[in-house]
Amino acid sequence: MKVAVGGTFQPLHDGHKLLLRTAYEIDGQVDIGLTSDEMARHARIRNVEPYAMREQRLREWIEKKLGKKPHITKLEDPYGTALTEDYDYIVVSPETYPTALKINELRKEKGLKLITIVRVNYVLAEDGKPISSTRIDSGEIDTHGNLLRKGKHEGSGRDQ
């Protein structure tokens, strides 16, 4: 089985971790598309760490927590190798679900076989709203969804 998953993965939060765990639960080769700095910065106002740093953090977490050697490639557009390689699965969050539908639409036009979409739910923060990088960056919650109630830009005192 070939599995595709993608994102910016910064800060690496419990939503990302569920996405990655779900991808690796499928018995096969997982290809992780990690957004280039250009792509990541284009998509958001907030600061994004350089690719090499994001790549290293992601790699370390996967090796340590999932015991796998990750296969990470750079995404220069939202689709990456998903428009050319025959994946069996693409694992997405609710946020990236429309991209997976778009990938299948483009594959269909090209006469390629469609990819099964595994849609992983949001992980909810303490307040019942989804954990997101934006909320973490603003200092509202930590990477596990704990409410920080410290106001903006003070960051989180605890993480793992």
| Interacting residue ranges for its own copies, rule: CB under 8 A | 18, 22, 25-26, 88, 97-98, 101, 104, 113-124
CB of 117 to its own copies, least distance (A): 4
Distance (Å) of CA 29 to CA 19, 21, 80, 97: 15, 13, 16, 21
Q: How far is CA 17 from the centre of its chain?
A: 8
Smallest distance from the beta carbon of 151 to its own copies, in angstroms? 26
**Nearest distance, CB of residue 106 and its own copies, angstroms:** 13
* Cα dihedral 78, 82, 87, 92 in deg (nearest 10): 10
Judge whether 46 and 106 are in contact, CB under 8 Å.
Answer: no
Give every CB contact of residue 6 below 8 A, 6+ residues apart in sequence. 32, 33, 34, 35, 75, 78, 80, 82, 96
Tell me whether residue 61 or residue 122 sits nearer to its own copies (CB atom): 122
Q: Evaluate whether 75 touches 36 at the Cβ level (below 8 Å).
A: yes
CA distance 130 to 144: 11
Q: Which is nearer to its own copies, 12 or 131 (CB)?
A: 131
Closest CB 21 distance from its own copies, rounded Å: 9
Identity of the residue, 50 or 98, whose beta carbon is nearer to its own copies in the bound complex: 98
Nearer CB in complex with its own copies: 66/114: 114
**Smallest distance, its own copies to C-beta of residue 41, A:** 28
Q: Based on CB atoms, which residue is closest to its own copies, 41 or 144? A: 144
